[in-house]
Structure 1
Amino acid sequence: MLGLFMLRDKASLLDIFKAGQLAIEFARGMSREQLASDVMRQSAILYQIAIVGEATKRLSRNFREQHPEVPWDDIAGMRDIIAHQYDRLDLDIVWQASDSAKSTGVASCDRAFITSA
């Protein structure tokens, strides 16, 4: 059973990696003001953030507990807001999350992190 959780964790981490990279790529070179006026990019970035949040929820409790430095609940919570409270979305928070992901590397977890699952 443990092997099954490890395989699922690896698959989920790969999804997080890919979606995080896409979100960063979609926001590359844009200012906060440019993003505010580009509904298509907003939508693309929000979709990738939702994927990151959903994949985070699929990670085993054991894996998440082994990596307490990552704000798993906040990441999953962002997905819930995008999916269920879309009318409450705050573009400033989305922009801060995107900017934080770029600077801290959370969204661009490297292959070594993925293979550690």
Structure 2
Amino acid sequence: MKVKNVALSEQTIANEIPAFCQKWKICQFSLFCPALPVAWEAGNSGVSQSAGSSIGVLVNFEPDIHPTSCDLVQMRDELTSILGQTVCLLPKEAIEQSENYIRRQQILDAAIVVYDSGCCHLSEPPELTNPLTAAEQEQALLLDVLIACQRIQRYTSDICWEQFQTCDCTLLQDATVRQLELIGEAIKQISQTTKTQHPEIPWSVIIDVCDCLTCEEHQAEAETIWQAVEQGIPRLIRYIEPLVWPGVPIPPSSDYVSSSLISEPA
């Protein structure tokens, strides 16, 4: 489904984009259509992104070029000025390494190369298509939730509560909270249809808990985070897995319907 015509002038294609690529040592520059209202394409790569971006840009850098986060922010701002649209800027390598195989493959397949190794590949503005159907967007968001849950489990698999609460684990606590934030934000984007079809999952409660844990004005105590890790995350995984991979049996709804992401300790 075509969603937009990219309004790029001949000068932009022939001059401005090549000049931008040469300045930042970019060997390949491609355009794609961001699939979601919030630019989730970047995932946890730490690259520059912009909420509500109207155009996506994939860039490959020359060998041994490793831009900083500040560089990426500056590049995104320059591209916003050049293209006249808000930009989601992603190193292609970040997408290629993404754990979300649904979004990864669709973006790579749909991206249109504009500039490659010093040569322009377009003579007129491209027509971008949405890389994901509505159903695929839904699956990608559910997979985002599952990936974040699994990362939390990996982060905390070899430690106990006593270790988690120490000052030495501050970075681990921060990393865990970041994944909880991603869970909450992904669930906010999941359609009401899916939520209605699966009332056994307290979607709104999970969002509220994740928002509470990640709110800067409400810094969560380590014990509260640990309760979510130990009790809520394994339960959430059991309910999200069948939605991502149909055919996996769903536990009885009574096992989860009255629970929140954080359960009261026994």
Q: Pick the TM interval, shorter chain.
A: 0.7 to 0.9
Alignment deviations for residues 45-75 of structure 1 (CA, whole Å, 9 cap, x no partner): 1101110111011100010111111121122
Q: How many matched pairs?
A: 112
1:81 Cα deviation from its structure 2 partner: 1.8
The reply to whether residue 47 of structure 1 matches residue 168 of structure 2 is no
Stretches of structure 1 lacking an aligned partner (at least 5 in a row): none
Stretches of structure 2 lacking an aligned partner (at least 5 in a row): 1-131, 247-266
The reply to whether residue 15 of structure 1 matches residue 144 of structure 2 is yes
Contact 2:180 2:214 in 1 (8 A): no
- Structure with bigger RCO (C-alpha 8 Å, 6+ apart): 1
1:7 Cα deviation from its structure 2 partner: 2.3
1:77 Cα deviation from its structure 2 partner: 1.2
Q: Identify the residue that residue 93 of structure 2 maps to in structure 1.
A: none
Q: 1:26 aligns with which of 143, 155, 159?
A: 155
Report which stretch shifted further, 75-84 or 30-39. 75-84
Q: Identify the residue that residue 237 of structure 2 maps to in structure 1.
A: 107
Report which stretch shifted further, 26-35 or 47-56. 26-35
Report which stretch shifted further, 55-64 or 81-90. 81-90
Q: 1:58 aligns with which of 186, 189, 211?
A: 189
* Cα RMSD for the two superposed structures: 2.1
Aligned partner letter, 1:93 = T
Q: Superposition pairs for residues 73-112 of structure 1, below 5 Å? A: 73-104=204-235, 106-107=236-237, 109-110=240-241, 112=242
Distance in structure 1 (CA, Å) of the matches to 2:136 and 2:155: 29
Question: Please, what TM-score do these two structures have when normalized by structure 1?
Answer: 0.81
Poorly superposed stretches of 4+, deviation over 6 Å: none
Aligned partner letter, 1:113 = L
Q: Identify the residue that residue 70 of structure 1 maps to in structure 2.
A: 201
Structure number with greater Rg is 2
Q: Identify the residue that residue 118 of structure 2 maps to in structure 1.
A: none
Aligned partner letter, 2:202 = P
1:4 Cα deviation from its structure 2 partner: 4.3
- Greater share of helix: 1
Contact 1:23 1:98 in 2 (8 A): yes
